[in-house]
Amino acid sequence: MPGFLILNGPNLNLLGLRQPEVYGHTTLADVEAMCREHAERIGVTVEFAQSNSEGTLVDHIHSCRERLDGLILNAGAYTHTSVALMDAISSAEVPAIELHLSNVHAREEFRHVSYIAKVAVGVICGFGPRGYTLAMDAMQAHLERAR
Ligand code: CA2
């Protein structure tokens, strides 16, 4: 069974608890429950993690190497700044999907820049928490195409 890591970056632990006008009322624990339920439905396993620290996110990405089949990454604000996360994805040699709750292209200009997109197989943004299950489906389809 394919295994995915769903990894969340800085401040996403506050999801549903602050700024609901931007990010909605769903908490990260709700998102994790949705992903676990969806994983059973589509026949994949998921690991789910969040960190506010760039180095810890790098370690999580490295942990995918030769162990998991796909990385779904909402890197939060590090998306727009982190060469370290980009290099970690390249060195882990695992297909990655960049994910955002909000449509970053309809927001401030600095959010239009992504280091992750340069090494990702694709990007999903603007669909709120539903984006997580869309990304799982997209990763499964990507792996099936690559087989
Ligand atoms: O839309 C997304 O998923 C983002 O990755 C969220 C990041 C933002 O920096 C990216 O540009 C787009 C911010 C995550 C902050 O999450 C919060 C959630 C609730 C309250 C405060 C922050």
* Residues noted as catalytic: 23, 100
pLDDT in tens, 26-46: 999 999 999 999 999 999 999
Burial class of 66 by CB neighbour count within 10 A (0 to 12, 13 to 18, 19+): exposed
* Residue of 23 and 147 predicted with greater confidence: 23
pLDDT in tens, 68-121: 999 999 999 999 999 999 999 999 999 999 999 999 999 999 999 999 999 999
Is 87 annotated in a binding site? The answer is yes
DSSP tag of 91: H
Report the domain count for the chain.
1
DSSP tag of 129: T
Q: Is 104 in the pocket of ligand 1 (CB under 6 A)?
A: yes
In this prediction, residue 19 carries a pLDDT of: 87
Distance 6 CA to ligand 1 centre (A): 15
Vertex 38: Cα angle to 32 and 11 (nearest 5): 25
Query: Can you give the residue range of the structural domain that contains 117?
Result: 3-146
> What is the CATH number for 62?
3.40.50.9100
Q: Is 13 in the pocket of ligand 1 (CB under 6 A)?
A: no
Average the pLDDT over 11-28 and give the result.
93
Distance, in Å, from the CA atom of 60 to the CA atom of 89, rounded to the nearest integer, reads: 10
pLDDT band at 25 (very low <50, low <70, confident <90, very high): very high
Q: Is 102 in the pocket of ligand 1 (CB under 6 A)?
A: yes
* Token duo for residue 112: 């239009």
What are phi and psi for residue 49, nearest 5 degrees? -145, 160
Distance 120 CA to ligand 1 centre (A): 19
